[in-house]
Amino acid sequence: MDQKEIKINYAYYESIADCSADDQILLQACKDALIDSYSPYSNFKVGSAVLLANGKIVKGSNQENVAYPMCECAERVAMYNAWHQYPKVSFMKIAVTTYSSIKSDTPPAPPCGACRQVIFEYEERFEKAIEILLLSQSGKIIKFKSARDLLPLAFGKDFLI
Ligand code: THU
């Protein structure tokens, strides 16, 4: 038996000011997206923004429903919105932030498992890694180079075709 280990690389920034100019703009866009969150059941706002290869930024926020399983995550709203506005234009980066009136001092919140799988699907479609930036309410940032870092041993198209 071989014991294996998977290591994950990520960058940590103390504040938005420490990030690149491109990243600062994208992080501000995901913060701006919080305003359109529809989250009366969780009171947990999530904002997301996708930077496309054509330089456009497309936003999304979580959209809840009284039938809880139908709640849509901000990341997927942003990605599907981006694809529909600019079909086939690849994604460079996706940024996510959260706002809670109950808990403000949490680490940057990562995308849920389903959103990680959807980001990975776009990586496979575009054959290109998508950077993932996570911004906490208090302004700390974690940055991953690819969905693969958040989804080790990912289930991808190589298993099927
Ligand atoms: N949520 C997101 O928008 N993205 C995630 O990756 C995790 C969870 C939303 C769904 C729901 O509206 C609220 O956060 C609480 O789970």
How do the domains of the chain map onto residue ranges? Answer: 11-159
Task: Specify the CATH architecture of the domain 11-159.
Answer: 3-Layer(aba) Sandwich (3.40)
Alpha helix segments (H runs only) across 56-153: 74-85, 113-126, 147-150
The model's pTM is 0.97
Q: What is the rounded average pLDDT for all residues in the chain?
A: 97
pLDDT in tens, 86-100: 999 999 999 999 999
pLDDT digits (tens, 9 = 90+) for 108-140: 999 999 999 999 999 999 999 999 999 999 999
| Burial label, 20 (beta-carbon count in 10 A; 0-12, 13-18, 19+) | exposed
Residues in the chain: 161
Distance 1 CA to ligand 1 centre (A): 39
Q: Measuring CA to CA, how many Å separate 127 from each of 92, 123, 124? A: 11, 5, 5
Residues enclosing ligand 1, CB less than 6 A? 39, 42, 44, 46, 62, 64, 71, 73-75, 111-112, 115
